Amino acid sequence: MAKPADTRTAGRKPVAKATRSAAETEKIRAALAARRDELRAEYDQTLSEITELQRDRLTDSAGDDQADTGTKTFEREQEISLANSIKERITQVERALERLDEGGYGWCERCGNPIPVERLAAFPSATLCVTCKQLEERR
Ligand SMILES: [Zn+2]
């Protein structure tokens, strides 16, 4: 049986203008992975809260008036939208990790400088360094 040719690495151009050390890349990876785990825990917790709210709604609804039912539905919808936004953030972090592997993550889109690890950990979707971000906001 013939081995399939490895086309994954062929034709991939490095995007980064500057270089970041392997140690720095590892630090970013660790920060992103920690963030992802944190978000996953948060997501699981939100899901169990939704399940609980749902259970409450089903078991206590007999004595509820319409206002109570409305409040519970509202709370549940809030939890669901929270869960969705957490899930979106998890996806962002996962994409960031993929881009990091490709060498295209963590560089300021404007000045090409590396974005500090702390900033990336806090805002995995950041595409600008703090200085450029401030300039952008001032416009
Ligand atoms: Zn910049």
The pLDDT tens digits for 6-42 are 444 444 444 545 678 889 899 999 999 999 999 999 9
Domain count, the chain: 1
Q: Is residue 134 part of a domain?
A: no
Q: Residues 112, 94: contact at Cβ < 8 Å? A: no
Q: Is residue 53 part of a domain?
A: yes
Whether residue 43 has pLDDT greater than 50? yes
Q: Is residue 12 part of a domain?
A: no
What is the pLDDT at residue 1?
54
Beta strands in 11-118 (DSSP E): none
The pLDDT tens digits for 47-74 are 999 999 888 877 766 666 777 778 878 8
Ligand 1 centroid to residue 64 C-alpha, Å: 56
Q: Is residue 51 part of a domain?
A: yes
Residues linked to residue 107 through DSSP beta bridges, in sequence order:
114
The overall pTM is greater than 0.75: no
Ligand 1 centroid to residue 127 C-alpha, Å: 9
What is the pLDDT at residue 60?
66
Q: Is residue 139 part of a domain?
A: no
